[in-house]
DNA sequence: CAGGATCCGTGGTGATACTG
DNA sequence: CAGTATCACCACGGATCCTG
């Protein structure tokens, strides 16, 4: 049995989610995909995976992010329950963010994507270069 | 050993990709994430998983998509080598799209995300409702 | 039939300045 | 320190009309 056929058989029930057959589940699925597809969420969840970090630490580690987007992205992650925010009533203020069990569990399938990307890196870049070099279309 | 610790240990090398330590790999990773995070790509790859389909068939199955976005998304998928396009010189024209082995292989980790979303559906929606109902912040 | 061209609204993202 | 407020930009996505 070919690998593609096994994949289709094993995961057939889940394929419907990808195709949007169940409207509710499809909407949740899409909301999750768009979250991990945004510019900073995965990077932040990854950074918080090993332990809590302060706002400024996250900002320094995440090269290129603005304070505005860091705040905004952390709020979204907090809303989904992927990240917890703890604020200390001190002067100067101190806020630490930590990954929740849900956030850590998300890291598993996300890293499956990372491994897929790594495994097919040259194939993908090759495809893109070939496509961009085409003169037809 | 706790599940979180095992996850961190097993996948630790890949965590760096999520955090963007290797610039090249991080860029590829981000491009893959943003592709599967866009509105239609995953749905189209899912639909083509079981066999080739024509442009109009895809448009009818993908409720709500515009011809413009269908064309555009298929071009992107074709560029990455996730989808193949075959045009027949007939009148009226006929174009079929089919998933490539690369596209079918991507379905595996993507469905891991789908299963994660399904498994944590109530937890996520609960978190969101609770967050939205908060009066602080 | 399978698109291309064009216009346009919205939302994501960054830059800058300001604040408790 | 950890944000908020404001402005500006542009890519994403939809609507409409046109074509080989």
Question: Domains plus CATH for chain A?
Answer: 1-37 (no CATH), 39-136 (1.10.10.10)
Section A47-57 average pLDDT: 96
pLDDT at A42 (0 to 100): 96
**In chain A, whose CA is at the least distance from the CA of B24?**
A121
Chain-chain contact of B116 with A128 (C-beta, under 8 angstroms): no
Ordered alpha helix ranges (H), chain A? 3-10, 12-19, 23-37, 41-47, 55-61, 67-80, 101-119, 121-133
Is pLDDT at B24 greater than 60 in this prediction?
yes
Tell me, yes or no, if B15 comes closer than 8 A to chain A by beta carbon. yes
* Cβ neighbours for A131, distance < 8 A, ≥ 6 positions apart: B78, B79, B81
Average pLDDT along chain B: 89
Determine the Cα–Cα distance for residues B10 and B48; give it in Å rounded to an integer.
Answer: 33
Q: pLDDT digits over A11-29, tens only?
A: 565 677 677 777 788 899 9
pLDDT at A24 (0 to 100): 82
CA of A88 to C1' of C6 (A): 53
Q: Output the DSSP codes for B3-24.
A: HHHHHHHHHHHHHHHHHT-SHH
The secondary structure of B94-114, three-state, reads EEEEEECHHHHHHHHHHHHHH
Q: List protein-proximal bases of chain D (any atom < 7 A from a CB).
A: 1-6, 12-17, 20
Q: pLDDT digits over A69-104, tens only?
A: 999 999 999 999 999 999 999 999 999 999 999 999
pLDDT at B23 (0 to 100): 79
Is strand D less than 7 A from the beta carbon of A56? Answer: yes
CA nearest A41: which of A110, A116, A119? Answer: A110
pLDDT at A7 (0 to 100): 52
pLDDT at B22 (0 to 100): 80
Q: pLDDT digits over B35-66, tens only?
A: 999 999 999 999 999 999 999 999 999 999 99
Distance from CA of B4 to the nearest CA of A (A): 7
Chain-chain contact of B4 with A111 (C-beta, under 8 angstroms): no
* Probe site for chain A from B3, B23, B110, B129 (most A CB atoms < 10 A): B110
CA of B88 to C1' of D19 (A): 18
Bigger pLDDT: A26 vs A66: A66
Bigger pLDDT: B37 vs B9: B37
Tell me, yes or no, if A34 comes closer than 8 A to chain B by beta carbon. yes
pTM for this predicted structure: 0.90
Is pLDDT at B127 greater than 90 in this prediction?
yes
Q: pLDDT digits over A104-124, tens only?
A: 999 999 999 999 999 999 999
**In chain B, whose CA is at the least distance from the CA of A111?**
B14
Which residue ranges have CB below 7 A from strand C? A 38-40, 64-69, 72-73, 92-93; B 54-56, 67-68, 71, 74-75, 85, 87, 92-95
Is strand D less than 7 A from the beta carbon of B51? Answer: no
Q: Given pLDDT bands bounded at 50, 70 and 90, which one contains residue B79? A: very high
Is pLDDT at B73 greater than 70 in this prediction?
yes
């Amino acid at each position: 049995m070919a690998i593609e056929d096994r994949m289709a058989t094993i995961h057939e029930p889940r394929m419907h989610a990808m195709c949007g057959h169940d409207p509710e589940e499809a909407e949740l699925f899409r909301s999750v995909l768009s979250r991990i597809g945004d510019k900073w969420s995965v990077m932040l969840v990854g950074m918080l995976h090993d332990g809590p970090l302060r706002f400024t630490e996250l900002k320094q580690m995440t090269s290129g992010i603005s304070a505005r987007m860091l705040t905004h992205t952390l709020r979204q992650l907090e809303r989904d329950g992927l990240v917890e925010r703890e604020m200390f009533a001190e002067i100067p203020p101190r806020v630490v963010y930590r990954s929740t069990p849900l956030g850590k569990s998300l890291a598993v399938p996300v890293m499956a994507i990372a491994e897929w990307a790594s495994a097919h890196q040259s194939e993908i870049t090759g495809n893109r270069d070939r496509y961009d070099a085409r003169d037809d279309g």
